[in-house]
Structure 1
């Protein structure tokens, strides 16, 4: 399996959009347009693929000078728990550091807090319900 960086014009990017929609939004009856938030176009898109198949994905966005947000982390359900999410996360953190990050943050689903913690993210504040999906999350931060 290899890690690749994607552009929105890449064929694999459509697979990314489909996986994100299927796992995060379809079940909640949300429109596909929800994928195209204010961060989408100017983000770094990282995926793990093998023989043309998508297995994992994550997005990195600079929200302010030196402040980066990781979002839309997803791993195909049939291969979750095999470390692919951690590989994508590490790649995104390294990319943020190369771009001069002072801080990297994300909003973690509560069941994923331990994975993010293993890579140095710490929880901040209380859990909250995500507006778009109604799923509980908590902010996590990694200082650089």
Structure 2
């Protein structure tokens, strides 16, 4: 399996959008446009693929100088538990550091906190329910 950077014109990017929508936004019946938030266009997009199949995806956004946000991390359900999320997270974190990150943060679903902790993220504050999806999350931060 290969870890690659996607352009928003790639067919695998479109597959990533479909997977993100299916796993994050379909159940709460949100419109597909929710995928295209303020960060989407100016973010870096990474995926793990084999042949022409997308298995995992993550997005990295520089919100302000030295402050990076990881978001929209997703692994295809039939590929979960194989370390793909950890591979994507490591790539996103490494890329942020290469680009001058001082702080990297994300909003983790509670079941994924342990994976993020393994790569140096620490919880910050209390858990909360995401307004759009109704799913419990907690902010996690890693200082570089």
Normalization by structure 2: what TM-score?
0.99
Residue of structure 2 in register with 1:87 after alignment:
87
1:10 aligns to what? Answer: 10
Whole-Å Cα distance in 1 between the matches of residues 135 and 64 of structure 2?
26
**SS in structure 1 opposite 2:90?**
helix
**Aligned residues: CA RMSD:** 0.5
Measured against aligned partners, the alpha-carbon deviations of 1:5-25 in whole angstroms (never above 9, x if no partner) come to: 011111111100000000000
Partners of 1:104 and 1:130 lie apart in 2 by: 20
Q: Distance in 1 between matches of 2:11 and 2:123?
A: 36
- How many residues get paired? 144
SS of residue in 1 equivalent to 2:100: coil
Unaligned runs of 5+ in 2: none
Q: Which runs of 5+ in 1 are unaligned?
A: none
Secondary structure class of the residue paired with 1:27? coil
> What is the rounded CA distance, in whole Å, between the counterparts of 1:86 and 1:45 in structure 2?
15
What does 1:1-144 correspond to in 2, within 5 Å?
1-144=1-144
* 1:127 shift after superposition: 0.4
- Structure-1-length-normalised TM-score: 0.99
Per-residue CA deviation, residues 51-92 of structure 1 (Å, 9 max, x unaligned), is 110000000001111000000000000110110000000000
- In the aligned structure 2, how far is the partner of 1:86 from the partner of 1:131? 26
SS of the aligned residue for 1:132 comes to coil
